[in-house]
């Protein structure tokens, strides 16, 4: 699946992803500034999260409650120094909790990512819109 969208269309693009056959573990690939955090915020809005803050850059993971009482975890692994550091924080427990896990910079923990996941790539187009590809 491929979706091209502008910032004004981001909520609709997020809903299209949620309507697709996606897994509970969603990996977000893209360069710095591609819009990973912004897209994850749109996903959270579509799920009814009311108190979404920014990216969990310093805490590595933020936990949110969706409108229907489910838990959503948002990971930003950019500042992670090693897979061991992620393992020590109990990242595998989050991944196998059955809750939705949205993961930025998953390439920092390639050996810890569950095989059963959805991979999303985001890139900025020359006109400023974003192209989202689901693998």
Q: What is the mean pLDDT of residues 63-76?
A: 94
pLDDT the model gives residue 67: 92
Domain interval for residue 113:
2-134
Residue 116 pLDDT greater than 90, yes or no = yes
The CATH number of whichever domain residue 65 belongs to comes to: 3.40.50.300
Per-residue confidence (pLDDT) for residue 57, from 0 to 100: 56
pLDDT averaged over the chain?
Answer: 93
What is the arithmetic mean of pLDDT over 10-18? 97
Mean pLDDT for the stretch of residues 114-123: 97
Residue 126 near residue 14 (C-beta atoms within 8 A):
no
pLDDT at 131: 98
Extended beta strands in 1-135, E state: 2-5, 25-29, 61-65, 71-76, 100-104, 118-124, 130-134
User: What's the whole-number mean pLDDT along residues 61-87?
Assistant: 93
H/E segment holding residue 18:
helix 10-19
pLDDT at 110 over 70: yes
Q: For residue 20, give both structure tokens.
A: 């697709």
* Number of residues that make up the chain: 135
Question: How many domains, the chain?
Answer: 1
Q: Which residue has the higher pLDDT, 71 or 60?
A: 71
Determine if the pTM surpasses 0.75. Answer: yes
Q: Note the pLDDT of residue 50.
A: 85
Q: What is the pLDDT of residues 20-64, one digit of tens each?
A: 989 999 999 999 999 999 999 999 999 999 877 666 555 789 999
User: What is d(CA 82, CA 26) in angstroms, rounded to the nearest whole number?
Assistant: 20
């Amino acid at each position: 699946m491929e979706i091209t969208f502008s910032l004004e269309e981001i909520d609709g693009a997020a809903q299209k992803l949620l309507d697709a056959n996606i897994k509970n573990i969603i990996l977000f690939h893209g360069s710095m500034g591609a819009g990973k955090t912004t897209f994850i915020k749109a996903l959270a809005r579509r799920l009814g999260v009311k108190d979404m803050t920014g990216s969990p850059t310093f805490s590595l993971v933020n936990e949110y409650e969706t409108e229907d009482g489910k838990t959503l975890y948002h990971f930003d692994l950019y500042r992670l120094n090693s897979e061991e550091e992620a393992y020590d924080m109990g990242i595998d427990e989050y991944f196998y909790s059955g809750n939705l896990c949205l993961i930025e910079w998953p390439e920092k923990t390639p050996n810890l990512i569950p095989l059963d996941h959805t991979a999303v790539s985001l890139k900025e187009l020359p006109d400023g819109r974003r192209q989202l590809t689901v693998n």
